[in-house]
Amino acid sequence: MKNIKVLFVFLYFTISVINLKGASLFISDQSKSRASIHSLSVKPETKDLNKYYSAKRLGSFVENGKTYFRLFAPNAKEVKLVTFQKPEDKDGHEYHMEHDTNGVWESSINGEQYGLFYGFKVFNPKYPETKDVICIDPYSKAVATYNTYFPPRRSIVVKENNYSWEEDHWIQRDWRDAVIYEMHIRDLTADPSSGCSQAGTYHGLIEKGKTGGIDYIKSLGVNTVEFLPSQEFANIEIPYKDSINGVFNTWNQYERNHWGYMTAAFFAPEDYYSNDVKSLKWNEWSGTEAKQVTEYKDMVKAFHKEGIAVVMDVVYNHLSEYELGNLKEIDREYYFRLDKRGNYIAESGCGNDLKTERPMLRRLIVESILYWMKEYHIDGFRFDLGKLIDWETVEEITHEAKKLNPNVILVCEPWGGGYDPAGFSLRGWGSWNDQIRNGIKGENPVNGLGWIFGKWYGNNSPERIKSYVNGTLVRDSLGLFQTKEHSVNYLSSHDGYTFGDFIRIGTGKIGANEAVKDINSLVKLTPLELKLNKLGALFLFTSQGVTMFQEGDEFARAKVIPDASVPDTNKGKLDSNSYNKDNAVNYLNFDYSKLNEDLKDYYTGLISLRNKYDAFRRAKYEDISFLNIKDNPFALGYKLEYNNDEFLVLFNAGTNKPQDFNLPEGDWQIFVNPEKAGTDTLGVVSAKIELQPSTGCVLKKK
């Protein structure tokens, strides 16, 4: 996550006055509490809150002709259920709630109240100002939101197990076979070039016969998609040039959170991607009909019909900082990590770290994961800032999720308050392999270039490059993982520059702070840029482990900040942190893909090669032997033998001179050369092959 940590500077401050632009009067009572809700510091807890635990079903549900509502709030002295006929109603009907000795509050209403809007008023004498705030249910299965900063929200009673899956089930796939496409649900179809009539939505993504969307993903050959956060999240940030206690929003002119790393409801799908919401507008309600529930399932089912697994990017290390009426107002002492003065700890850089080690928060996290697996048939999860989740919770997620689906994908960012990919590997989780990312392409394009540029970034070395080929295993003494399927290999992700832009800056085509003069000329790759993009892709798709690449890298997508109607001083520059832009900088423009169709075809060919031959996915450590190459530390070659197939994978990453490779005895078919990649023979060589600088090849013995 995350470059959005640029936001953290204001999150430590307390809230006094927020001038919500154009907000309707019906939220005025709620906004009165903002001045002091987050400003209170309290002494550390004096009682053992970990002793509270309940196995009761939580949230809203229907049983025996009644609708029940349960909330865990151990520090509350009084809780009221509030129901609304319409989400915009200022006043609702209040019901008294009873509590048990385990901190669970309960009330019920006669009848099956599906579609009812509701929330809770929670009174804690330490925070009297919060007593009139409407808190959503942490177990909400759908949420309606009034689009503003600190928005009023309403939980919705949803009928579960009410969908025809048509025999759909989880994709049972070995992790080693996964080729993951990291993508944003809206971005893949929001640009007009996608041709989708329901652009930017769950249904738009699965429209057939379109340039963008599911047919495009299928054409690449990928078998797994990884969605950026799609649990209900906060879309709108503090108004630009408005303040929190005198700290002004001067950094986000767009007033938006586009990527979704501010989760607001862990059981509910994001309503913005519903067909009902064409664009996000201030001071309007969205998600009121809970159509997002069915539409999300339609999307998953459509991907499964194409044999494509669905992985969710999930955020359980912190909670949305842009919301009023969530766990902070329900019980901040229970749910959050606080310092000795009672202030939020924010190692996430996002304002408030969740205290995942609390038994009932652990239960919420685990049950959320299981709910998405059972109710939405999700095949796996990528955990944002995984190191901020305590080990016991990690282990319980593993245990419970694998009972449902032994092949469930569990991967994470192994950082956040520490760095421990080895610890996750010991617990059966995969991790994003930043060693490969930084070692192969580099850490930054200005003064931290990597191997494909003929540079050694940091402590990178020829031995480390060999370790990456093998899956970055601990047995190499340089590695991180117990098994290679725990290594999620990638060169770029949503964070930072795209792979294509990294190369554009790294080769000097454009400066990091230089405005683009002609976007078509920028997007179109030079011969050197094309070679470097292919070289990096060749290494990625032939290395052992799980392969992941970011949407658009297959055509060297450029992220150029457009001339939007906001006062962005960086207009025209390449964007390395596009978390806040629901516009062309993030949308995939398929017209530009045609400018670099050669690269797209190369990616498609590499994916087909990897999918067809087990050697690139399942070879054992002993099946790989490296060639002895002298006088060129950036040249790499290895022989790969598996299932009666014998391959040679050769690279000349130096940019200075050609490299000769002596070949083992026999004739070798060329499957990948500097121009093309795939499973068709491009020629036959024997004895020796010469590679020009910044190129590679794959040979298969006849």
Q: Is 211 exposed, middle or buried (0-12, 13-18, 19+ CB in 10 A)?
A: middle
User: Are both 593 and 640 inside the same structural domain?
Assistant: no
Give me the chain's average pLDDT, please. Answer: 92
My answer on whether 557 and 601 are in the same domain is: yes
Dump pLDDT digits (tens) for 559-611. 999 988 888 889 999 999 999 999 999 999 999 999 999 999 999 999 999 99
Query: Which amino acid, one-letter code, is at 416?
Result: G
Residue 426 contacts by C-beta under 8 Å, 6 or more apart in sequence? Answer: 482
How far, in Å, CA of 438 to CA of 441, rounded?
6
Last residue of a domain, one of 577, 612, 647: 612
Distance CA 386, CA 411 (A): 9
- Look at 554 and 240; give whichever has higher pLDDT: 554
Residue 631 lies in a domain: yes
CATH number at residue 664: 2.60.40.1180
How many structural domains compose the chain? 2
> Residues 449-476: what's their mean pLDDT?
95
The verdict on residue 496 lying in a domain is yes
Please name the amino acid found at residue 577: N
Question: At which of 612, 640, 661 does a domain end?
Answer: 612
Q: Say whether both 594 and 639 belong to one domain.
A: no
pLDDT score recorded for residue 355: 98
Q: Cα separations (Å) of 640 from 167, 464, 548?
A: 39, 18, 21
Q: Contact 258/316 with Cβ under 8 angstroms?
A: no
pLDDT of residue 244: 61
What is the identity of the amino acid at 425? S
Do 207 and 265 reside in the same domain of the chain?
Answer: yes
CB 623 within 8 A of CB 613: no
- Give the pLDDT score at 4: 44
How do residues 521-556 score in pLDDT, each as one tens digit?
A: 999 999 999 999 999 999 999 999 999 999 999 999
Instruction: Specify the DSSP element, H or E, that contains 399.
Output: helix 391-404
Give me the domain span that covers residue 623.
Answer: 619-701
697 and 635 in a single domain? The answer is yes
206: domain CATH number? 3.20.20.80
* Token digits of residue 661: 């490779």
Residue 293 and residue 2: Cα distance in Å, rounded?
28
What's the predicted TM-score (pTM) here? Answer: 0.94
- Reported in sequence order, the residue ranges of 228-359 that DSSP labels E, i.e. its strands, are 243-244, 247-248, 285-286, 309-314
pLDDT in tens, 21-55: 333 333 333 333 333 344 444 555 557 999 999 99
* pLDDT-above-90 percentage for the chain: 85
Q: Cα(first)–Cα(last) distance of the chain, in Å? A: 46
State the number of CA atoms in the 13 A half-sphere of 249 facing the CB. 23
- CA atoms in the 13 A half-sphere facing the CB of 436: 36
* In a domain? residue 408: yes
Instruction: Using the predicted structure, report yes or no on whether residue 461 has a pLDDT greater than 90.
Output: yes
pLDDT attached to residue 38: 45
Q: 678: which residues sit within 8 A by CB, 6+ positions away?
A: 604, 605, 606, 608, 609, 671, 672
Within a domain: 416: yes
Per-position b or e across 604-625, b if 16+ CB within 10 A of its CB: bbbbbbbbebebbbbbeeebbe
Q: Which residue has the tokens 């069915």?
A: 294
Q: What is the pLDDT of residues 108-139, one digit of tens each?
A: 999 999 999 999 999 999 999 899 999 999 99
Q: What is the pLDDT of residues 357-395, one digit of tens each?
A: 999 999 999 999 999 999 999 999 999 999 999 999 999
Residue 632 lies in a domain: yes
Residues 317-360: tens digit of each pLDDT = 999 988 899 999 999 999 999 999 999 999 998 889 999 999 99
pLDDT of 6 over the 90 cut: no
Residue 546 lies in a domain: yes
Residue 449: pLDDT above 50?
yes
Which residues are registered as beta bridge partners of 119?
Answer: 82
Last residue of a domain, one of 591, 612, 633: 612
Indicate whether 441 and 472 sit together in one domain.
yes
* pLDDT higher than 80, residue 15: no
pLDDT beyond 60 at 9: no
Confirm whether 156 is domain-assigned: no
- Judge residue 681's burial from the number of C-beta atoms within 10 Å of its C-beta, 0-12 exposed, 13-18 middle, 19 or more buried: exposed
The count of other CB atoms within 10 Å of the CB of residue 644 is 7
Please determine, for residue 437, whether its predicted confidence score (pLDDT) is greater than 50: yes
Per-residue pLDDT tens digits for 243-258: 665 557 888 899 999 9
At residue 18, the pLDDT reads 33
Helices (H), 439-588: 462-469, 499-506, 519-523, 527-542
Per-residue pLDDT tens digits for 494-513: 999 999 999 999 999 999 99
- Please give the structure tokens belonging to residue 479: 């590695």
b/e for 88-111, b at 16 or more Cβ within 10 A?
beeebeeeebebeeebbbbbbbee
Please check whether residues 535 and 607 belong to one and the same domain.
Answer: yes
Do 107 and 157 touch, CB atoms closer than 8 A?
Answer: no
Q: Is residue 516 part of a domain?
A: yes
